[in-house]
Amino acid sequence: MQSAGVVLATAGLSLAAAVAGAAVGTRRGGTAIVYAVSLAACTIALAAALAHLLGSAEPSAVTLPLGLPWIGAHFRVDALSAFFLVVVNLGGAAASLYALGYGRHEESPGRVLPFFPAFLAGMNLVVLADDAFAFLVSWEFMSLVSWALVISHHREHENVRAGYIYLVMASFGTLALLLAFGLLAGPGGAYDFASMRAAEPTALVGSLALALVLLGAGSKAGLVPLHVWLPLAHPAAPSHVSALMSGVMTKIAIYAFVRVAFDLIGAPAWWQGMTVLSLGASSAVLGVLYALMQRDLKRLLAYSTIENVGIVFLGLGLALAFRADGLGAGAALNATGLRDIERLGGLIRRMPYTSFAFLVGCVAITGLPPLNGFASEWLTFQAILQSPDLPQWALKFSVPAAGGMLALSAALAAACFVKAFGVSFLGRPRSGAAETAREVDRFSLAAMLALAALCVGAGLVPGVILDALSPVSLSLVAERMPVQATQPWLSVIPIAEARSSYNGLLVFAFVAASAGLAALAIHRFASRAVRRAPAWDCGFPQPSPITQYTGASFSQPIRRVFGSVVFRARERVEIPPPGDPRPARIAVQLRDLVWEGLYEPIAAGVGFAAQKLNKLQFLTIRRYLSLVFVALVSLLVVLALWV
Amino acid sequence: MGLIAALLVQGGQMALVLIAAPLVVGLVRKVKARLLRRRGPSPIQPYRDLVRLARKEVVLAENASWLFRAAPYLIFAATWVAAALVPTFARGLMFSWTADLIAITALLGSARFFLALAGLDVGTGFGGIGSSREVLIASLAEPAMLLMVFSLALVAGSTQLSTVAEVMSSSAGLRVSLGLALIALVMVALAENSRIPIDNPATHLELTMVHEAMVLEYSGRHLAMVELASALKLTLYLSLIACLFAPWGLARAGAPAGAYLLGTALFAGKIAIGAVLLAVFETAIAKMRVFRVPEFLGAALMLGLLGTLLLFFSRSL
């Protein structure tokens, strides 16, 4: 009873903050108030959701007399939504804290302040909703508010285009979800989730609804090939908002998919799992390859979001395919891969704390032990190994291939974040701005370091988190993993110790202890002298910083290996003959085949149809009347034939 | 008493890999030199090099950051922990359940991540080219390694090395998939340890600018740590191959002292054979171009995938 009410109240508080933001937006001090209120709202909602997740397993529900008069708006918190509420509000709290400092540099706060709390409220409401109507209204609210945030810097032409594409894709996604709910509600029009859950859809309706949800939620999550808007829109928003969009809104889309596919539709067929599996695997690999080709750090992170989402969907596809226990939990743990650390623009020497937080984030996203990313990746690998005895031949082919794809994307992600961190934080400053960069303010630092600490904590004791998540997987697949808290030393043992086990805490302790011991022994017994000198560089150091490796040169070998097929990458090198003073040039051409093959034909088709239909605007009144008459008669004929 | 003995065995394993690692490198160098009709340095030369490096002062580039100074210790520690988790002379060690083969692979991935970052830290061309090529090689070698792990795990029903070794020594028998996995593992091991034909550990000049180019800015004790870590990695891969494909003579947990001694002697023999084979192979083959490396590793990847697929079709293949 309480937790749903508390979270609803905080959503109301955020909405009030949004109104206040519109009122005080331009005044001094207004920024701090709005972000402080959203921080408070997120913290309260976080506490309520955590209490629900750890405490009672009983779902709590609230019905408000809003919306359609004979339906009302149903809201409900169960284990699944409580978990996603934790994700939303954790991200929201961190982003608000960050914005307390960062928001002061915003040049047009009036365009951000009203929408930021409203965005938070919208995301909370989507997770709370318990009927199709409330869900769709909240979903559309969330989309529109985030669109307003994307175009908040509207003077840049790029951002307006990004906003337009985002709006089109978001409407398309909502349309798909609307149709999916329509199918699930059936002819009786039972739009609340409880009756959808009780109803057993036929195989055809079930798979159609699943396909529609995959389209709707997948377009929001950035699943390839519905990802095109994401790398445009996410970097266009202010940094704290793009962190929310990458870190939280994509997870909301995953929530929508999980809610509908596992909870409302029910028993899936194996080929549906395979579709999700293959889409997830291709998103993971393509996302990280795109990310490697980027020069813009925010865009790189946006593509890496696509990769992450792909990995989560891969886990979900596995869960759909064989309902293995604990998989939901693995995928869910993956979803928490807190990736909001998204500030840059300096160097490790000038910004030590920021670079440390970013480094922790990189290691976590890359899935290196002992941080949280590895724990979830490890669980997914174990899931692949758990189920070789599948009855379907197609699955026998695709599951090991998906495992290979996951491994490939993990390795490429490591390359990608070596590039992201190495090129932006290490090396010599490439510009005057980088040379004089200063550490960010206290609030932003606190937010980043708190998230980094969470990444480390979640990686060290994955067993505890898995236990907290077990009601979630219990409600999803009606099975659960063995309780992990009773295992000695907090290790993770999915099936049996002789099969596989992993202990983040001990691995971390061993690595830390042996690194410390080695350093201590060497400094104590060998030498501790240090002399600073110019870089060696094989005897020919070049003083100019432009001689160092850039991001493009770093990823050149990978572009050459993978890019010639995936991006049709072409390199053109012009070297003038000796004696010619012109500089040598290299031009690289990358093509986005998804954009050219899928979106341009659709856009061209829509344009063509609009051109043709344009004639309808210039008819005489008699023609309009006859048009209406013909339409009416043909509809009646159709109806007569149908019934 | 049992606890102390178990701790001693675990400690012995950690010490053994650490002490054996430079000797393995020295042995490979010596055999290579003899094959080329040179006398070559003594096999214990790497120990002397390490001691000398550790005693020297560190010459640090002016703009090197804390990451550059911390990385050698992190790389060393991650590699050492990974190497200590591979059963050498005994299985069922006290902490062997801490991490399985997937986690060991990922620990090596962490070490490489920091090494590649350190290569970029000073901002020189050599470091950049080394890091860039290292991550290219890793991006293909890691999936190949994991697919190899998959096929082993499907045969043994476990990713836990102790259990895998037990199954392999008792009931695995000869299988096509294991043959493919062995070839894939050897190819990955050559690439991961920057051996010929992928890279040449003896030089950092143009043709082979991978590992040695990346660590070019290191000196003194930092270089000693990095060198020791790469020696540990070579030992790790040799003992991994020995533990998976020649798991004979591994002492059980709680076995009498004689079994441990026998296990250690057998381990020394297996590693020595591995080192000699590596030296012969390296002498017999030429270094390949960097852009041929993806084809080489792609073949390893396909072999691993083929092995796994075979097992998904039939558990007896």
Cα B121 off chain centre by: 25
Nearest Cα of chain B lies from the Cα of A554 at a distance, in angstroms, of 5
DSSP structure string for A597-640: IIIHHHHHHHHHHHHHHGGGGG--HHHHHHHHHHHHHHHHHHHH
Across the interface, do A498 and B160 touch by the CB < 8 Å criterion? yes
Contacting residues for B104 by C-beta, under 8 A, at least 6 apart:
B82, B85, B86, B161
Across the interface, do A400 and B150 touch by the CB < 8 Å criterion? yes
Please report residues of B whose CB lies closer than 8 A to that of A423.
Answer: 120
Confidence of residue A343 (pLDDT cuts 50, 70, 90): very low
The H-or-E segment that residue A62 falls in is: strand A60-64
Nearest Cα of chain B lies from the Cα of A247 at a distance, in angstroms, of 23
Residue B102 tokens, joined: 């997937």
A548 → closest Cβ in B123, B219, B224:
B123
Give the separation between CA A265 and CA A136, rounded to whole angstroms. 17
Across the interface, do A514 and B80 touch by the CB < 8 Å criterion? yes
Give the separation between CA A254 and CA A305, rounded to whole angstroms. 12
User: What's the confidence (pLDDT) of residue B183?
Assistant: 94
A76 DSSP β-pair partners: A61
Would the pTM of this model clear 0.80, i.e. be above it?
yes
A349 vs B60, residue with greater confidence: B60
Give the separation between CA A501 and CA B161, rounded to whole angstroms. 11
Q: Which of A376, A399, A404, A373 is nearest to A386 (CA)?
A: A399
Instruction: Answer for the pair A160, A151: CB distance below 8 angstroms, yes or no.
Output: yes
Give the separation between CA A454 and CA A337, rounded to whole angstroms. 10
Instruction: Answer for the pair A588, A571: CB distance below 8 angstroms, yes or no.
Output: yes
The CA-based angle A150-A156-A157, given to 5 degrees, is: 95
Confidence of residue A490 (pLDDT cuts 50, 70, 90): very low
Please report residues of A whose CB lies closer than 8 A to that of B199.
Answer: none
Per-residue pLDDT averaged across A469-484, rounded? 50
Confidence of residue A26 (pLDDT cuts 50, 70, 90): low
pLDDT tens across A120-157, in order? 999 999 988 888 888 999 999 999 999 998 888 877 88
Q: Which of A227-236, A298-307, A587-596, B19-28 has the lowest mean pLDDT?
A: A298-307
Nearest Cα of chain A lies from the Cα of B117 at a distance, in angstroms, of 6
Q: Which of A207-216, A291-300, A517-526, B153-162 has the lowest mean pLDDT?
A: A291-300
The strand pair at A530-533 and A570-574 is best described as unpaired
Across the interface, do A426 and B117 touch by the CB < 8 Å criterion? yes
Q: Is A586 helix (H, G, I), strand (E, B) or coil?
A: strand
DSSP structure string for A442-487: HHHHHHHHHHHHHHHHHHH-HHHHHHHHHHHHHHHHS--PPPSTTS
The number of beta carbons lying within 10 Å of the beta carbon of residue A523 is 11
Task: Tell the burial category of A212 from Cβ atoms under 10 Å away from its Cβ (0-12, 13-18, 19+).
Answer: buried
User: What's the confidence (pLDDT) of residue A626?
Assistant: 92
Instruction: Answer for the pair A369, A459: CB distance below 8 angstroms, yes or no.
Output: yes
Give the separation between CA A298 and CA A420, rounded to whole angstroms. 10
Across the interface, do A396 and B146 touch by the CB < 8 Å criterion? no
Taking each helix axis from N to C end, the angle separating B293-313 and A393-425, rounded to the nearest 10 degrees, works out to: 150
A426 → closest Cβ in B55, B65, B109:
B65
Top residue of B136, B152, B215, B216 to mutate, by most chain A CBs within 10 Å, is B136
Give the separation between CA A593 and CA A232, rounded to whole angstroms. 16
A428 → closest Cβ in B123, B304, B308:
B123
Per-residue DSSP letter, A492:
B
Q: Is B59 helix (H, G, I), strand (E, B) or coil?
A: strand
Instruction: Answer for the pair A271, A255: CB distance below 8 angstroms, yes or no.
Output: no
A527 → closest Cβ in B56, B141, B147:
B56
Please report residues of A whose CB lies closer than 8 A to that of B117.
Answer: 418, 421-422, 426
B68-to-A533, B62, B91 alpha-carbon distances in Å = 14, 11, 36
User: What's the confidence (pLDDT) of residue B182?
Assistant: 93
Residue A398 has pLDDT above 50, yes or no: yes
DSSP structure string for B224-257: HHHHHHHHHHHHHHHHHHHHHH--TTPBPTT--H
Across the interface, do A407 and B109 touch by the CB < 8 Å criterion? no
Q: Is B92 left (phi over 0), alpha (psi -120 to 50) or beta?
A: left
Give the separation between CA A299 and CA A283, rounded to whole angstroms. 16
* Phi then psi dihedrals of residue A525, to 5 deg: -100, -20
Task: Tell the burial category of A112 from Cβ atoms under 10 Å away from its Cβ (0-12, 13-18, 19+).
Answer: buried
Residue A53 tokens, joined: 């997740």
Cα B141 off chain centre by: 13
A with B: how many residue pairs have Cβ under 8 Å apart? 279
Q: Where are the extended beta strands (E) located within A513-567? A: 530-533
The number of beta carbons lying within 10 Å of the beta carbon of residue A184 is 25
Q: Which of A166, A415, A159, A162 is nearest to A291 (CA)?
A: A415
Residue A478 has pLDDT above 70, yes or no: no
The H-or-E segment that residue B66 falls in is: helix B66-84
Across the interface, do B125 and A537 touch by the CB < 8 Å criterion? yes
A560 → closest Cβ in B131, B291, B304:
B291
Per-residue DSSP letter, A107:
S
Rounded to two decimals, the ipTM of the complex is: 0.91
User: What's the confidence (pLDDT) of residue A316?
Assistant: 60
Q: Which of B274, B141, B311 is nearest to B210 (CA)?
A: B141
Across the interface, do A421 and B102 touch by the CB < 8 Å criterion? no
Contacting residues for A597 by C-beta, under 8 A, at least 6 apart:
none
pLDDT tens across A29-82, in order? 778 888 888 888 888 888 888 888 777 667 777 887 776 767 778 888 887 788
Q: Which of A409, A170, A411 is nearest to A282 (CA)?
A: A409
pLDDT tens across A399-424, in order? 778 888 888 888 888 888 888 888 77
Give the separation between CA A401 and CA B147, rounded to whole angstroms. 9
Q: Which of A247, A174, A270 is nearest to A217 (CA)?
A: A174
Q: Is A266 left (phi over 0), alpha (psi -120 to 50) or beta?
A: left
The H-or-E segment that residue A571 falls in is: strand A570-574
Confidence of residue A341 (pLDDT cuts 50, 70, 90): very low
Please report residues of A whose CB lies closer than 8 A to that of B51.
Answer: 526
Please report residues of A whose CB lies closer than 8 A to that of B215.
Answer: none
**Nearest residue of B to residue A555, measured between CA atoms:** B132
pLDDT tens across A254-283, in order? 888 888 877 777 666 666 777 777 777 778
A589 DSSP β-pair partners: A570
Across the interface, do B116 and A422 touch by the CB < 8 Å criterion? yes
Nearest Cα of chain B lies from the Cα of A282 at a distance, in angstroms, of 15
**Nearest residue of A to residue B150, measured between CA atoms:** A385
Across the interface, do B147 and A428 touch by the CB < 8 Å criterion? no
Residue A85 tokens, joined: 């509420």
Instruction: Answer for the pair A8, A128: CB distance below 8 angstroms, yes or no.
Output: yes
pLDDT tens across A590-643, in order? 887 788 888 888 889 989 999 998 888 888 889 999 999 999 999 999 999 877
Please report residues of B whose CB lies closer than 8 A to that of A412.
Answer: 139
Handedness of CA A30, A34, A39, A41 (dihedral sign): positive
Top residue of A322, A424, A500, A548 to mutate, by most chain B CBs within 10 Å, is A500
Residue A336 has pLDDT above 50, yes or no: no
Across the interface, do A507 and B99 touch by the CB < 8 Å criterion? yes
Residue A481 has pLDDT above 50, yes or no: no
Across the interface, do A408 and B56 touch by the CB < 8 Å criterion? no
Across the interface, do A549 and B127 touch by the CB < 8 Å criterion? yes
Give the separation between CA A124 and CA A86, rounded to whole angstroms. 10
Across the interface, do B150 and A427 touch by the CB < 8 Å criterion? no
The H-or-E segment that residue A574 falls in is: strand A570-574
Give the separation between CA A358 and CA A370, rounded to whole angstroms. 16
User: What's the confidence (pLDDT) of residue A431?
Assistant: 66
Please report residues of A whose CB lies closer than 8 A to that of B57.
Answer: 527, 529-531
Q: Which of A189-203, A329-343, A505-519, A576-590 has the lowest mean pLDDT?
A: A329-343
Full pLDDT tens readout for chain B, 317 residues? 477 888 888 888 889 999 999 999 999 999 999 999 999 999 999 999 999 999 999 999 888 888 899 999 999 999 999 998 898 888 877 777 777 888 899 899 999 999 999 988 888 888 888 899 999 999 999 999 999 988 888 888 888 888 888 888 887 678 888 899 999 999 999 999 988 888 888 776 666 678 888 888 899 999 999 999 999 999 999 999 999 998 888 887 777 888 888 989 999 999 999 999 999 999 999 888 888 888 999 999 999 989 888 887 777 77
Task: Tell the burial category of A306 from Cβ atoms under 10 Å away from its Cβ (0-12, 13-18, 19+).
Answer: buried
Across the interface, do B308 and A400 touch by the CB < 8 Å criterion? yes
Nearest Cα of chain B lies from the Cα of A254 at a distance, in angstroms, of 26
Nearest Cα of chain B lies from the Cα of A133 at a distance, in angstroms, of 45
The H-or-E segment that residue B1 falls in is: none
Please report residues of B whose CB lies closer than 8 A to that of A404.
Answer: 143, 146-147, 301, 304-305, 308
Nearest Cα of chain B lies from the Cα of A457 at a distance, in angstroms, of 17
A526 → closest Cβ in B54, B99, B143:
B54
User: What's the confidence (pLDDT) of residue A340?
Assistant: 36
Please name the residue ranges forming H helices in A237-348.
239-244, 250-258, 270-292, 297-322, 327-335
Per-residue pLDDT averaged across A476-500, rounded? 50
Q: Which residue has the tokens 């600018």?
A: B209
